Amino acid sequence: MSHRRRLPRPVWTVVLIGALSPVAPAEAAGWRAGQARGDITPRESMWMSGYAARNRPSEGAVHELWCKALALEDPAGGRALLVSLDLCGIDRELSLGIREAIGSRHGLTRDRIVLACSHTHCGPVVGTNLITMYQIDDAERAKIEAYTRFLAETVAATAERALGDLEEARLAWESGRCDFAVNRRNNPEQEVPGLRARLALAGPVDHDVPVLRVTDLDGRIRAVVFGYACHCTVLDFLKFCGDYAGFAQIALEAKHPGATALFVAGCGGDQNPIPRRKLDLAEAYGNQLAAAVARVLESPMRPIEGPLQTADREIELAFGPLPTRDQIESAVQSSNFYEASRARRLLQTIEDRGKLPESYPYPVQVWRLDELAWVFLGGEVTVDYSLRIKRNVGSSRTWVSAYCNDVMAYIPSLRVLKEGGYEGASSMLYYGQPTVWSERVEEDVIAAVAGLLEAVAPRREPAAAAP
């Protein structure tokens, strides 16, 4: 069976961000929703993201990569926009530019726009995301810059169409289960089959599959948003592909013709699909996840009446002790390409700013839809965060997403930071960050989440005094 499933390619409409026109809100008694998609598959061979071992550009595609947008308008007329991207990640500058352009044209504040990356490792390099990882020449850099401009225009155009597609709708949500994610820090990949057979897999996991369903007034599914906490790293070849998340979206859209399926990754920074490395495994995991979503859709779901409440902030997430200039200049001479590449970028930062930053502006965002508290975190967040948040807020009414708005680095829990390893320390090299996070990293992120959850908490009227 051929795995190259070329879906119908719509005409690419390139809309300059400055030319977008505002969409005026309309009065409605209930929810309204709109969806749209844009094909973001590179039209030429270019460097792929996610793996340092790649040594040449892409060689075709298994299926299209998509930008998908879901626009929501609550009964009070408040609007919000969720955009899913079949990409490894985007950087802060690109994210802010896209959200500010969309927001200014459509009257949306930043807390009402989410850009969610699936983190497929079979997508193109975008902007400066993971830029110190790639051994590329000027010609490949030019392709990356051109693609990044194209991506910004496509996201803006897709948002425009979704906001222009608003129709009366009903919303509901519920959570299912799927179990192929394995904690990669605690279970060596080659040992996983044996460990599983002996019931000896170790380490925390989050196997929840949260699902948001959008239907029209006749009950037909218009959109399905779903999540799972696991890396999109089944595949490591040179073809563009959405990995298991892409196959899951394809399966759901085949089952519900006319519907748009959007994947929003969970806190899977230390979670892998194992076994992996084969295309049929990616499709099998995707079908397994789609089946979990289908079971939720076919069961009773909790209706969402509204309103939609939103809040966001950037916190100054502190780094640990910074390297000295002498240390950086020494690293420039390193035979290790990645160390030398980061060192050159750090010296340029010192030249531009006068010093290295002591912290990073880390994005935290929360939406509340009735009882559902939906948390959006930036970066490659390890699973401890979602487990901690749900343990305290309530797993039956909490959705925690990662890789949202800015994928600047791994976000380790304190446990993972102290253990070190790739997620806790060495990955900062590939992201070009100057050093590891401080030991305040977990508490600072959790405090920000707690504050935003309080900001969107339902306001209860004080009880009337007894006569």
Q: What is the pLDDT of residues 373-390, one digit of tens each?
A: 999 999 999 999 999 999
Please give the radius of gyration of the chain, using alpha carbons only, rounded to the nearest integer: 22
Q: How many CB atoms lie within 10 A of CB 430?
A: 20
Residue 463 has a pLDDT of 52
Q: Which two tokens stand for residue 284?
A: 């099998």
**What are the beta bridge partners of residue 309?**
368
The angle subtended at Cα 188 by Cα 231 and Cα 385, nearest 5°, is 45
**Structure confidence by residue, pLDDT tens digits, 185-194:** 999 999 999 9
Rounded to whole angstroms, the Cα distance separating 84 from 67 reads 6
Nearest residue to 376 (alpha-carbon basis) of 360, 388, 362: 362
**Pairing verdict, β 398-401 and 372-377:** parallel
DSSP, residue by residue, 151-216:
HHHHHHHHHHHHHTT-EE-EEEEEEEE---EEETTTS-GGGHHHHHHTT---S----EEEEEEEE-
**Structure confidence by residue, pLDDT tens digits, 398-413:** 999 999 999 999 999 9
Under DSSP, is residue 271 helix (H, G, I), strand (E, B) or coil? strand
| Average pLDDT value over all residues in the chain | 92
Are 380 and 368 contacting, i.e. CB atoms less than 8 angstroms apart?
A: no
Residue 465 has a pLDDT of 52
- With a cut of 90, say whether residue 6 has pLDDT above it: no
Mean pLDDT of 85-108: 98
Rounded to whole angstroms, the Cα distance separating 76 from 78 reads 6
Rounded to whole angstroms, the Cα distance separating 258 from 260 reads 7
Q: How many CB atoms lie within 10 A of CB 330?
A: 13
pLDDT > 70 in the chain, percent = 92
Question: Dihedrals φ, ψ of 266, to 5°?
Answer: -95, -165
Question: Dihedrals φ, ψ of 113, to 5°?
Answer: -130, 130
Question: Dihedrals φ, ψ of 435, to 5°?
Answer: -170, -170
**Structure confidence by residue, pLDDT tens digits, 243-293:** 999 999 999 999 999 999 999 999 999 999 999 999 999 999 999 999 999
- With a cut of 90, say whether residue 29 has pLDDT above it: no
The band of 131, judged by pLDDT with boundaries at 50, 70 and 90, is confident
**Structure confidence by residue, pLDDT tens digits, 233-245:** 999 999 999 999 9
